[in-house]
Amino acid sequence: MSRLLKLRQEIDRVDQRLVKDLADRFVLTAEVGKYKKKYNMASYDAKREIEMLAKRVEIGKRFGLEKKLVKKFFRFITAIVREEHRKIMKK
């Protein structure tokens, strides 16, 4: 097996873990949305998002990731979460 093929297989395994972790995260964020609805809380918490992004950037730094990449990645995810929370609030 070529080195390139081995590397691609390892990338595939990492991607599988990423997708599973992302799915697990969305299960948890849906629970947060239900909790917020139950207790009449706002679906969006700007302070929490700012704090979360700062923490994720710090974690990214420890692993050699650029701040821009980490912020874009988590802003994308949180935008989807906010939309899902809005749907939960309307139910």
In this structure, is the dihedral angle defined by the CA atoms of residues 86, 88, 89 and 91, taken in order, positive or negative?
A: positive
Q: What is the pLDDT of residue 76?
A: 98
- Whether residue 48 is predicted with pLDDT greater than 90 in this model: the reply is yes
The arithmetic mean of pLDDT across residues 17-39, rounded, is: 97
The arithmetic mean of pLDDT across residues 39-60, rounded, is: 96
Alpha helical stretches, state H, 1-91: 3-38, 46-62, 67-90
Q: What is the pLDDT of residue 78?
A: 96
Residues 6+ positions from 80 with CB-CB distance below 8 Å:
26
Torsion of CA 25, 29, 30, 33, to 10 degrees: 180
Residue 13 burial class via C-beta count within 10 angstroms: exposed 0-12, middle 13-18, buried 19 and up = exposed
Q: What is the pLDDT of residue 1?
A: 79
The arithmetic mean of pLDDT across residues 69-77, rounded, is: 98
